[in-house]
Amino acid sequence: MSNPLDQVFSALADPTRRAILAMLLEDDMAVTDVADPFPMSLAAISKHLSVLAEAGLITQERRGRVKWCKLEPDALRTASVWMQGFGQFGPVDLDGLERFLAAELHGPDLPDPPASFSV
């Protein structure tokens, strides 16, 4: 699965990983802190972070004994460009955003992380 689009899309296909990205949008975080709001083991989150890192969606820098995770939003660009081949999804489609949030918010499953960001 070396294809970068494969990696990016399949990384994004998991709600836990999308939630992690949303958290990192607010600030860089240590692995332990990323794991905190999730109802699963630290090892599981560590694996999720590896997937995100291999897709290029985050980078991880070890400083001391803590490993800092940093969002790399540029990695979304290839995927975004690919999708744009199917129509123009302008950056400010507020209509679509509204419908999307409406559909999503009384939605599922996930824990409770940072709020304000849809998973």
Partner DNA sequence: CATATCGTCAACCATCCGGTTGAATATGGC
Partner DNA sequence: GCCATATTCAACCGGATGGTTGACGATATG
* Interface residue list for a second copy (CB under 8 A): 2-6, 9-10, 12-15, 18, 21-22, 25, 71, 73-74, 76-91, 93, 96-97, 99-100, 103-104, 107-109, 117-119
CB closer to DNA out of 41 and 84: 41
- Within 93-112, the residues that bind DNA by CB under 7 A are none
Q: Is 59 in the site for DNA (CB under 7 A)?
A: no
Cβ 19 to DNA, closest distance in Å?
10
Cβ 47 to a second copy, closest distance in Å?
17
In sequence order, what DSSP letters do the residues of 78-95 get, joined into one string?
A: HHHHHHHTTS---TT-HH
Q: Where are the beta strands (DSSP E) in 4-86?
A: 29-30, 58-63, 66-71
Beta strands across the sheet bearing 58-63: 29-30, 66-71, 58-63
